[in-house]
Structure formats: C-alpha cells, structure tokens
Amino acid sequence: MTNKPLMDAHVRDKIIADPEVILEDQDLMNALVAANEQSMGTNIVDLRGIAMERLTSRLDRLEDTHRSVIAAAYENLAGTNQIHRAVLRLLDATKFDDFLHDLSHDVADALRVDVVRLVLETETSDDDPAIKKMGDALSVCEKGFTDAYVTRGRDIPVRQVTLRQTRTDGEEIYGDKADYIRSEACLKLDFGEGRLPGMLLLGSEDPHLFTPQQGTDLMTFFAGVFERAMRQWLG
C-alpha cells in the first residue's frame, strides 16, 4: 500500500470536491463495480452487484418507456393542433366555391397532405358543366363507389375512417397525382337521411403518414366536423 495518489491530481481533487459526479456516470460506475468484482476473486458471488445490475436494466427499460410515452404525447398534440387548424379553416368559408378551394389548399397544408379530394355519390351523370367548374377538389361518382373504393371489392365492414398504404388505386380520384400517392386516409361521410354518402380522401406521398396501426380518433372527429359543414352546403 502507498499513500501516493496514482491518478492525476486535478481529476482527484475534482472527484473529492464533487463525488456525485461518479454516481451520475453510469459507465464509470459499471467500471468500478467490475473492478471490485475482479478484486474479490472468482469464488465469491457479489449479490449486491447482481441486484444493482438488474435494477440498472429495469431503470433503462423504464427510461425507454418514458421517452416513448413523451414522444407519443408530443405527436398526438401536434396531430390535434393540425386538426384544429384544418377545422377552423373549413368554418371560414362563406361560399361553396371557397370551401372547395380551401379544402385543396389551406386545409391540405394544415393536415400536411399532398392531395385532398371530396367524393360525392350520385345516381345521375357527372357530366354537369357546373360540377366541372368547381375544380379538382370535387369528384362525382356513381352510387356505391365509396364502399367499393374503401373495401377494394372485399366483403369486409366499411369503417368511418380507413388509414392505409396504397399505390395508384385511386387514379380516377387523384388524377395525374395518383402515381405519387403512397398512403391515404379514407373518411366516409354521412350527409343525413335521404342523401347518398360521400367520402373525403387525404392522400400523401409519404408511405408512413397513414398506416392501419395508427389511431383514428382525430380523423373520426375531423370527419364528423366535415359532415356537419357539408350539410349546410347541401341544404
């Protein structure tokens, strides 16, 4: 044994002045624990060290969970703010032409999607010139189109909100942008008794923006607001 310090005097003085620095450094603590185990030999089991290792592992898992929860909370808050901005923009329109224009511009920007399309079902021809003047935001399709589009011909229930990845299935809706759409949100719209249903399509070039694993609460709320806004225009 010797009283002569074996480490740098500056480092030694700093540790003595603030020993908590060591306790807060996980890598350094692991190194000290490992050195202590080596000094005890191979025939001694350090139960305290094992317990510390397990507690450290559990703490790491808790911290990972904590970070995931915080990230999810921020993401949900950001999504809520987007929906709120889109809803307020919808309510600003005083004419249906403005409503459709805002839908494909300001609302699309607020929701951070590349394309917004409103689909209305009809039992008559869609060759009405007045409809074509309303722009690309509005598409008029035959009766039953909404359910067929959402289910893709499969015998499955039609939910109000369907989030999915897609590839060029909506050429008749997205037009020349269909080749770039990689995910979409399909919002089925109920305009009230005696009226055919409709659909609001939100298309994105990002394949991960809309996926089946995501929650639909915010989109369900937006669909409900949009239905009510549309009813006033439909009379």
Question: DSSP secondary-structure letter at 107?
Answer: I
- Chain centroid to Cα 231, Å, comes to 28
Question: 68-234, what's its fold?
Answer: Beta-Lactamase (3.30.450)
| Contact status, residue 229 vs residue 99, Cβ threshold 8 Å | yes
Q: Where are the domains of the chain?
A: 9-62, 68-234
What is the band of 64 on the pLDDT scale with cuts at 50, 70, 90? Answer: confident
- Residue position matching structure tokens 């995501």: 214
| Contact status, residue 189 vs residue 117, Cβ threshold 8 Å | no
Residue 122 φ/ψ, nearest 5 degrees: -145, 155
CA atoms within 13 A on the CB side of 49: 14
Is 1 a residue whose pLDDT tops 50? no
Mean pLDDT of 50-60: 75
pLDDT in tens, 136-193: 788 888 999 999 999 988 888 889 999 999 876 567 788 888 889 999 999 999 998 8
What does the pLDDT read at residue 86?
A: 92
What's the alpha-carbon Rg for the chain, to the nearest Å? 30
Pair of tokens at residue 7 = 């480490």
